Copies of this chain bind each other. A is one copy, B any other.
Amino acid sequence: MSNPSLLILAGDGIGPEVMDEVKRIITWYGDKRDMPFDVSEDLVGGCAYDKHGTPLHDDTMARAQEVDAVLLGAVGGPKYDDLDFSLKPERGLLRLRKEMDLFSNLRPAQCFDALADFSSLKRDIVAGLDIMIVRELTSGVYFGEPRGIHTEGNERVGINTQRYTESEIARVARSAFELARRRGNKVCSMEKANVMESGVLWRQVVTEVHEKEYSDVELSHMYADNGAMQLVRNPKQFDVIVTDNLFGDLLSDAAAMLTGSLGMLPSASLGLPMANGRPKALYEPVHGSAPDIAGQGKANPIACILSFAMALRYSFDAGAEADRLEAAVETVLADGARTADLLGPEGGSPISTTQMGDRILAAL
Protein backbone atom coordinates (compact mmCIF):
# COMPACT_ATOMS: atom_id res chain seq x y z
CA MET A 1 0.00 0.00 0.00
CA SER A 2 1.32 3.45 -0.83
CA ASN A 3 1.94 6.09 1.81
CA PRO A 4 -0.79 8.59 2.59
CA SER A 5 -0.37 11.71 0.50
CA LEU A 6 -0.16 15.32 1.61
CA LEU A 7 -0.31 18.41 -0.55
CA ILE A 8 1.38 21.39 1.06
CA LEU A 9 0.21 24.83 -0.04
CA ALA A 10 2.29 27.19 2.08
CA GLY A 11 0.88 30.32 0.44
CA ASP A 12 1.87 33.90 1.26
CA GLY A 13 3.40 35.95 4.05
CA ILE A 14 4.44 33.85 7.02
CA GLY A 15 2.86 30.75 5.40
CA PRO A 16 6.14 29.33 4.05
CA GLU A 17 8.09 29.87 7.31
CA VAL A 18 5.56 28.22 9.56
CA MET A 19 5.09 25.41 7.06
CA ASP A 20 8.84 24.71 7.09
CA GLU A 21 8.48 23.68 10.72
CA VAL A 22 5.53 21.45 9.90
CA LYS A 23 7.62 19.72 7.24
CA ARG A 24 10.21 18.84 9.86
CA ILE A 25 7.46 17.40 12.06
CA ILE A 26 6.15 15.34 9.14
CA THR A 27 9.64 13.99 8.53
CA TRP A 28 9.92 13.13 12.22
CA TYR A 29 6.73 11.08 12.05
CA GLY A 30 8.12 9.21 9.06
CA ASP A 31 11.47 8.53 10.69
CA LYS A 32 10.52 7.96 14.29
CA ARG A 33 6.94 6.74 14.28
CA ASP A 34 6.99 4.78 11.06
CA MET A 35 4.34 7.02 9.53
CA PRO A 36 5.79 8.09 6.19
CA PHE A 37 3.82 10.53 4.06
CA ASP A 38 4.16 11.32 0.37
CA VAL A 39 4.50 15.07 0.37
CA SER A 40 4.08 17.34 -2.64
CA GLU A 41 4.05 21.13 -2.70
CA ASP A 42 2.34 23.79 -4.77
CA LEU A 43 1.18 27.40 -4.81
CA VAL A 44 -1.98 29.12 -3.62
CA GLY A 45 -2.96 32.78 -3.18
CA GLY A 46 -0.78 35.72 -4.12
CA CYS A 47 2.26 33.61 -4.98
CA ALA A 48 0.12 31.54 -7.39
CA TYR A 49 -1.16 34.74 -8.94
CA ASP A 50 2.40 36.02 -9.36
CA LYS A 51 3.41 32.86 -11.20
CA HIS A 52 0.24 31.87 -13.07
CA GLY A 53 -2.01 34.94 -13.05
CA THR A 54 -4.58 33.06 -10.97
CA PRO A 55 -4.75 32.45 -7.20
CA LEU A 56 -5.21 28.71 -7.79
CA HIS A 57 -4.06 26.90 -10.91
CA ASP A 58 -6.34 24.16 -12.27
CA ASP A 59 -3.55 21.61 -11.89
CA THR A 60 -3.24 22.49 -8.21
CA MET A 61 -6.99 22.17 -7.80
CA ALA A 62 -6.91 18.74 -9.43
CA ARG A 63 -4.02 17.62 -7.23
CA ALA A 64 -5.90 18.80 -4.10
CA GLN A 65 -8.80 16.55 -5.08
CA GLU A 66 -6.52 13.52 -5.27
CA VAL A 67 -4.46 13.70 -2.10
CA ASP A 68 -5.44 12.42 1.32
CA ALA A 69 -5.09 15.85 2.92
CA VAL A 70 -4.12 19.39 2.05
CA LEU A 71 -2.06 21.49 4.48
CA LEU A 72 -2.39 25.21 3.89
CA GLY A 73 -0.34 28.05 5.37
CA ALA A 74 -1.95 31.43 4.75
CA VAL A 75 -2.95 33.62 1.81
CA GLY A 76 -3.02 37.34 1.07
CA GLY A 77 -1.00 40.51 1.44
CA PRO A 78 -1.18 44.25 0.72
CA LYS A 79 0.52 43.72 -2.63
CA TYR A 80 -2.70 42.13 -3.88
CA ASP A 81 -5.17 44.63 -2.41
CA ASP A 82 -6.00 46.27 -5.71
CA LEU A 83 -6.46 43.10 -7.69
CA ASP A 84 -9.82 42.43 -9.21
CA PHE A 85 -12.17 40.53 -6.89
CA SER A 86 -11.90 37.30 -8.90
CA LEU A 87 -8.10 37.30 -8.74
CA LYS A 88 -7.63 38.04 -5.05
CA PRO A 89 -5.55 35.51 -3.06
CA GLU A 90 -8.64 34.62 -0.99
CA ARG A 91 -10.38 33.28 -4.10
CA GLY A 92 -7.82 30.49 -4.24
CA LEU A 93 -8.72 29.37 -0.74
CA LEU A 94 -12.45 29.75 -1.38
CA ARG A 95 -12.16 27.68 -4.55
CA LEU A 96 -10.45 24.87 -2.65
CA ARG A 97 -13.17 24.90 0.00
CA LYS A 98 -15.96 24.93 -2.56
CA GLU A 99 -14.66 22.41 -5.10
CA MET A 100 -13.46 19.98 -2.44
CA ASP A 101 -16.90 20.47 -0.82
CA LEU A 102 -15.36 21.01 2.63
CA PHE A 103 -18.62 21.79 4.36
CA SER A 104 -17.57 21.31 7.96
CA ASN A 105 -14.99 23.73 9.34
CA LEU A 106 -13.78 22.77 12.81
CA ARG A 107 -12.31 25.65 14.78
CA PRO A 108 -11.30 24.79 18.30
CA ALA A 109 -11.04 27.80 20.62
CA GLN A 110 -8.86 26.52 23.35
CA CYS A 111 -7.09 28.46 26.03
CA PHE A 112 -3.61 27.14 26.76
CA ASP A 113 -3.00 27.27 30.46
CA ALA A 114 0.49 28.70 30.10
CA LEU A 115 -0.99 31.56 28.04
CA ALA A 116 -4.21 32.31 29.93
CA ASP A 117 -2.85 35.61 31.24
CA PHE A 118 -2.26 36.66 27.70
CA SER A 119 -5.97 37.03 27.02
CA SER A 120 -7.64 40.44 27.23
CA LEU A 121 -10.25 38.64 29.34
CA LYS A 122 -9.93 37.87 33.00
CA ARG A 123 -8.15 34.63 33.78
CA ASP A 124 -11.11 32.92 35.43
CA ILE A 125 -13.32 33.65 32.40
CA VAL A 126 -10.98 31.92 29.93
CA ALA A 127 -8.69 29.51 31.81
CA GLY A 128 -9.51 25.99 30.72
CA LEU A 129 -11.71 27.21 27.87
CA ASP A 130 -12.28 24.53 25.24
CA ILE A 131 -14.99 25.21 22.66
CA MET A 132 -15.36 23.74 19.21
CA ILE A 133 -16.93 25.98 16.60
CA VAL A 134 -18.33 24.10 13.62
CA ARG A 135 -18.75 26.52 10.75
CA GLU A 136 -20.54 25.67 7.50
CA LEU A 137 -17.94 26.41 4.84
CA THR A 138 -19.26 25.81 1.33
CA SER A 139 -22.50 27.72 1.10
CA GLY A 140 -24.37 30.75 2.46
CA VAL A 141 -23.56 34.28 1.45
CA TYR A 142 -19.98 33.33 0.50
CA PHE A 143 -21.16 31.45 -2.57
CA GLY A 144 -24.84 32.29 -3.19
CA GLU A 145 -26.00 33.60 -6.56
CA PRO A 146 -26.92 36.19 -7.79
CA ARG A 147 -23.96 38.28 -6.66
CA GLY A 148 -21.97 41.21 -7.97
CA ILE A 149 -22.04 44.94 -8.52
CA HIS A 150 -24.24 46.41 -11.22
CA THR A 151 -25.78 49.75 -12.07
CA GLU A 152 -29.45 50.57 -11.52
CA GLY A 153 -30.63 53.97 -12.74
CA ASN A 154 -27.61 56.09 -12.04
CA GLU A 155 -26.16 54.29 -9.09
CA ARG A 156 -24.21 51.16 -8.28
CA VAL A 157 -25.80 48.33 -6.32
CA GLY A 158 -23.89 45.56 -4.56
CA ILE A 159 -25.61 42.20 -4.11
CA ASN A 160 -24.88 38.91 -2.40
CA THR A 161 -27.22 36.04 -1.70
CA GLN A 162 -27.51 34.08 1.51
CA ARG A 163 -28.84 30.68 0.47
CA TYR A 164 -29.04 27.41 2.38
CA THR A 165 -30.65 24.16 1.37
CA GLU A 166 -32.02 21.68 3.84
CA SER A 167 -29.33 19.10 3.04
CA GLU A 168 -26.53 21.64 3.43
CA ILE A 169 -27.78 22.48 6.90
CA ALA A 170 -28.42 18.87 7.86
CA ARG A 171 -24.94 17.63 6.99
CA VAL A 172 -23.08 20.27 8.98
CA ALA A 173 -25.49 19.80 11.88
CA ARG A 174 -24.69 16.08 11.88
CA SER A 175 -21.00 16.78 11.99
CA ALA A 176 -21.53 19.06 15.01
CA PHE A 177 -23.63 16.45 16.84
CA GLU A 178 -21.05 13.75 16.11
CA LEU A 179 -18.29 15.90 17.57
CA ALA A 180 -20.39 16.81 20.60
CA ARG A 181 -20.87 13.14 21.43
CA ARG A 182 -17.10 12.79 21.71
CA ARG A 183 -16.85 15.94 23.85
CA GLY A 184 -19.27 17.61 26.26
CA ASN A 185 -22.40 16.37 24.45
CA LYS A 186 -23.83 19.89 24.02
CA VAL A 187 -24.52 21.80 20.80
CA CYS A 188 -25.59 25.43 20.54
CA SER A 189 -26.83 26.46 17.09
CA MET A 190 -26.62 30.15 16.15
CA GLU A 191 -28.53 32.11 13.49
CA LYS A 192 -30.82 35.15 13.16
CA ALA A 193 -34.14 33.31 12.83
CA ASN A 194 -35.85 36.42 14.17
CA VAL A 195 -34.83 38.39 11.11
CA MET A 196 -33.80 36.04 8.30
CA GLU A 197 -35.81 33.22 6.73
CA SER A 198 -32.59 31.35 5.99
CA GLY A 199 -32.14 31.37 9.77
CA VAL A 200 -35.66 30.07 10.29
CA LEU A 201 -34.88 27.12 8.00
CA TRP A 202 -31.51 26.63 9.72
CA ARG A 203 -33.20 26.34 13.11
CA GLN A 204 -35.90 23.99 11.81
CA VAL A 205 -33.48 21.61 10.12
CA VAL A 206 -31.06 21.50 13.07
CA THR A 207 -34.02 20.74 15.32
CA GLU A 208 -35.26 17.97 13.01
CA VAL A 209 -31.85 16.31 12.71
CA HIS A 210 -31.54 16.49 16.47
CA GLU A 211 -34.94 14.92 17.13
CA LYS A 212 -34.51 12.12 14.62
CA GLU A 213 -30.85 11.21 15.03
CA TYR A 214 -29.19 12.87 18.01
CA SER A 215 -31.76 13.33 20.75
CA ASP A 216 -29.13 12.15 23.27
CA VAL A 217 -27.17 15.37 22.65
CA GLU A 218 -28.26 18.55 24.42
CA LEU A 219 -29.29 21.17 21.84
CA SER A 220 -29.92 24.88 22.33
CA HIS A 221 -30.47 27.78 19.91
CA MET A 222 -29.24 31.32 20.18
CA TYR A 223 -29.49 34.41 17.99
CA ALA A 224 -26.05 35.14 16.59
CA ASP A 225 -25.88 38.64 18.09
CA ASN A 226 -26.57 37.20 21.50
CA GLY A 227 -24.00 34.51 20.68
CA ALA A 228 -21.38 37.21 20.12
CA MET A 229 -22.29 38.67 23.51
CA GLN A 230 -22.30 35.37 25.34
CA LEU A 231 -18.89 34.45 23.93
CA VAL A 232 -17.54 37.62 25.51
CA ARG A 233 -19.52 37.31 28.75
CA ASN A 234 -19.07 33.65 29.59
CA PRO A 235 -17.53 31.51 26.85
CA LYS A 236 -17.27 28.43 29.05
CA GLN A 237 -21.02 27.93 28.82
CA PHE A 238 -20.42 26.44 25.34
CA ASP A 239 -19.19 23.05 24.16
CA VAL A 240 -19.88 22.81 20.41
CA ILE A 241 -21.28 25.78 18.47
CA VAL A 242 -22.69 25.19 14.98
CA THR A 243 -23.37 28.11 12.68
CA ASP A 244 -23.35 29.28 9.08
CA ASN A 245 -20.45 30.44 6.94
CA LEU A 246 -20.63 34.19 7.64
CA PHE A 247 -21.62 34.07 11.31
CA GLY A 248 -18.98 31.37 11.75
CA ASP A 249 -16.36 33.67 10.26
CA LEU A 250 -16.98 36.41 12.85
CA LEU A 251 -17.85 34.24 15.83
CA SER A 252 -14.90 31.89 15.45
CA ASP A 253 -12.51 34.81 15.16
CA ALA A 254 -13.95 36.44 18.26
CA ALA A 255 -13.74 33.10 20.09
CA ALA A 256 -10.15 32.62 18.93
CA MET A 257 -9.19 36.03 20.26
CA LEU A 258 -10.77 35.29 23.66
CA THR A 259 -8.21 32.59 24.26
CA GLY A 260 -5.33 35.01 23.87
CA SER A 261 -3.71 32.26 21.84
CA LEU A 262 -4.43 33.29 18.28
CA GLY A 263 -1.02 32.19 17.02
CA MET A 264 -1.84 28.80 18.48
CA LEU A 265 -5.15 27.89 16.92
CA PRO A 266 -5.53 25.30 14.14
CA SER A 267 -8.52 24.43 11.99
CA ALA A 268 -9.77 21.50 9.96
CA SER A 269 -12.12 21.71 6.97
CA LEU A 270 -13.73 18.39 6.23
CA GLY A 271 -15.88 17.08 3.37
CA LEU A 272 -17.40 13.80 2.29
CA PRO A 273 -15.56 10.48 2.59
CA MET A 274 -13.37 9.54 -0.38
CA ALA A 275 -13.10 6.02 -1.83
CA ASN A 276 -10.52 5.12 0.83
CA GLY A 277 -12.89 6.17 3.61
CA ARG A 278 -10.92 9.30 4.54
CA PRO A 279 -12.81 12.60 4.35
CA LYS A 280 -11.72 15.21 1.86
CA ALA A 281 -9.73 17.51 4.11
CA LEU A 282 -7.80 20.75 4.35
CA TYR A 283 -5.96 21.91 7.46
CA GLU A 284 -4.87 25.47 8.11
CA PRO A 285 -4.02 27.80 10.99
CA VAL A 286 -6.70 30.33 11.99
CA HIS A 287 -4.24 33.24 11.82
CA GLY A 288 -3.60 35.09 8.57
CA SER A 289 -0.51 35.72 6.46
CA ALA A 290 0.82 38.53 8.73
CA PRO A 291 2.74 40.31 5.94
CA ASP A 292 4.23 42.79 8.45
CA ILE A 293 6.44 40.11 10.02
CA ALA A 294 6.88 37.79 7.02
CA GLY A 295 10.38 36.54 6.25
CA GLN A 296 11.83 37.63 9.58
CA GLY A 297 11.73 34.32 11.44
CA LYS A 298 9.39 35.83 14.04
CA ALA A 299 6.22 33.90 13.24
CA ASN A 300 4.76 31.35 15.63
CA PRO A 301 4.57 27.95 13.88
CA ILE A 302 2.36 26.34 16.54
CA ALA A 303 -1.05 26.95 14.91
CA CYS A 304 0.22 25.36 11.71
CA ILE A 305 1.81 22.46 13.61
CA LEU A 306 -1.41 21.88 15.54
CA SER A 307 -3.26 21.88 12.21
CA PHE A 308 -1.10 18.91 11.27
CA ALA A 309 -2.10 17.32 14.60
CA MET A 310 -5.73 17.73 13.51
CA ALA A 311 -4.81 16.01 10.23
CA LEU A 312 -3.39 13.08 12.18
CA ARG A 313 -6.65 12.86 14.16
CA TYR A 314 -9.28 13.47 11.49
CA SER A 315 -7.65 12.21 8.28
CA PHE A 316 -5.28 9.49 9.43
CA ASP A 317 -7.15 8.02 12.38
CA ALA A 318 -4.06 8.59 14.50
CA GLY A 319 -5.59 10.24 17.54
CA ALA A 320 -2.85 9.01 19.84
CA GLU A 321 -0.20 10.53 17.58
CA ALA A 322 -2.15 13.81 17.53
CA ASP A 323 -2.25 13.71 21.34
CA ARG A 324 1.51 13.19 21.34
CA LEU A 325 2.11 16.26 19.18
CA GLU A 326 -0.30 18.40 21.20
CA ALA A 327 1.37 17.29 24.41
CA ALA A 328 4.77 18.26 23.00
CA VAL A 329 3.43 21.75 22.31
CA GLU A 330 2.03 22.03 25.84
CA THR A 331 5.39 20.94 27.22
CA VAL A 332 7.44 23.57 25.41
CA LEU A 333 4.94 26.26 26.40
CA ALA A 334 5.05 25.17 30.03
CA ASP A 335 8.86 25.31 29.76
CA GLY A 336 8.52 28.96 28.80
CA ALA A 337 9.36 28.82 25.09
CA ARG A 338 7.83 31.91 23.51
CA THR A 339 7.83 33.32 20.01
CA ALA A 340 7.46 37.11 19.82
CA ASP A 341 3.65 37.03 19.64
CA LEU A 342 3.52 35.11 22.93
CA LEU A 343 5.39 37.67 24.99
CA GLY A 344 3.21 39.63 27.37
CA PRO A 345 3.69 43.28 28.26
CA GLU A 346 6.49 42.17 30.66
CA GLY A 347 8.55 41.30 27.60
CA GLY A 348 11.24 38.63 27.75
CA SER A 349 13.34 37.31 24.92
CA PRO A 350 11.53 35.61 22.08
CA ILE A 351 12.75 32.56 20.21
CA SER A 352 12.54 32.30 16.43
CA THR A 353 10.19 30.25 14.26
CA THR A 354 12.89 27.61 13.74
CA GLN A 355 13.83 27.53 17.41
CA MET A 356 10.21 26.86 18.31
CA GLY A 357 10.27 24.01 15.79
CA ASP A 358 13.49 22.70 17.39
CA ARG A 359 11.93 22.77 20.85
CA ILE A 360 8.82 20.90 19.73
CA LEU A 361 10.89 18.27 17.93
CA ALA A 362 12.99 17.87 21.06
CA ALA A 363 9.86 17.46 23.19
CA LEU A 364 8.50 14.83 20.82
Q: Which residues of A contact B (CB under 8 A)?
A: 76, 85, 88, 90, 94, 120-122, 125, 141-142, 144, 147-149, 152, 155-167, 192, 194-202, 204-205, 224-226, 228-229, 231-234, 246-247, 249-251, 253-254, 256-258, 262
Contact = CB atoms under 8 A, between A and B. Distances in A.
8 contacts: A120-B122, A141-B141, A149-B198, A157-B163, A159-B162, A195-B249, A232-B257, A247-B250
Number of this chain's copies in the complex: 2
Given A161-B159, A232-B232, A88 B197 contact: no
B246 A258 contact: no
B161 A165 contact: no
Contacts of A156: 165-166, 201, 204-205
A334 to B, nearest CB: 23
Most chain B CB within a 10 A radius of its CB, from A195, A224, A253 = A195
A141 B228 CA distance: 18
B90 A195 contact: yes
Given A228-B251, A254-B232, A166 B157 contact: yes
A231 B251 CA distance: 12
A192 B90 CA distance: 11
A123 to B, nearest CB: 9
B167 A163 contact: no
